[in-house]
Amino acid sequence: MDMKVSRRQFFKICASGLGGSSLAMLGFSTETALAEVRTFKLARTTETRNTCPYCAVGCGIIMYGLGDKAKNAKAEIIHIEGDPDHPVNRGTLCPKGAGLLDFIHSQSRLKYPEVREPGAKEWKRISWEEALTRIAKHMKTDRDKNFIAKNADGQTVNRWLSTGFLAASASSNETGYLTHKIVRNLGIVAFDNQARV
């Protein structure tokens, strides 16, 4: 776009630029002032390190929460930023990671396991123990019913085609290795990662 600047506007722009740089020269650095505001905002918070849950990059984050984790203190995360000590992102975050605070406080965020029974319209909350037991039972029933040990030519194939597995992208190498071993040992072929979703 062709932007025309009048002689009067030109002098105004120069004057404001000079004002800003002169203030800095006199010791009124805006950078220092902004850094102080940030320190004040985070002064009474507790830091918790975590990993961004969105993609396979697995950037490190620091979550700043109100409260000192005492039982009677209401904890609330008020700020999230990239972890400067993390080897993956060195303090940076992409726009998705930079918006994590909204994700955490979203009304529709799922915070616990839920189940919708066959024929039911509503989801109901269950414990992690119940959720894991249910998943294990469903897996066993399905595997017993559909496992293919040999193909039509009598060759051993050990396939389980009726269940798939979606792994997490922010896991450690060790967790990824173990997940892969377990899933392939069960015979699951449909195996993918959250990073590709």
Interaction site with ligand SF4 (CB under 6 A): 52, 54-55, 57-59, 89, 93-94, 96-97
Q: Which C-beta is closer to ligand SF4: that of 4 or that of 109?
A: 109
Minimum CB separation of residue 55 from ligand SF4 in Å reads: 3
Measure the CA–CA gap between 104 and 184, rounded to whole angstroms: 33
Minimum CB separation of residue 57 from ligand SF4 in Å reads: 4
Q: Which C-beta is closer to ligand SF4: that of 45 or that of 169?
A: 169
Q: Which C-beta is closer to ligand SF4: that of 100 or that of 188?
A: 100
Minimum CB separation of residue 171 from ligand SF4 in Å reads: 13
- The values of phi and psi at residue 186, to 5°, are -75, -15
Q: Which C-beta is closer to ligand SF4: that of 58 or that of 188?
A: 58
Q: Which C-beta is closer to ligand SF4: that of 72 or that of 106?
A: 106
Minimum CB separation of residue 96 from ligand SF4 in Å reads: 4
| Amino acid in the structure at residue 111 | K
Q: Which residue is nearest to ligand SF4 (CB)?
A: 97
Task: Please give the full DSSP string across 21-62, using - where no structure is assigned.
Answer: HHHHHTT--HHHHHHHHHHHHHTT-EEEEEE-SSSTT--EEE
Minimum CB separation of residue 170 from ligand SF4 in Å reads: 7
For residue 122, give the DSSP letter: S
**H/E/C letters for each residue in 123-181?**
CEECCHHHHHHHHHHHHHHHHHHHCEEECCCCCEEEEECCCCEEECCCCCHHHHHHHHH
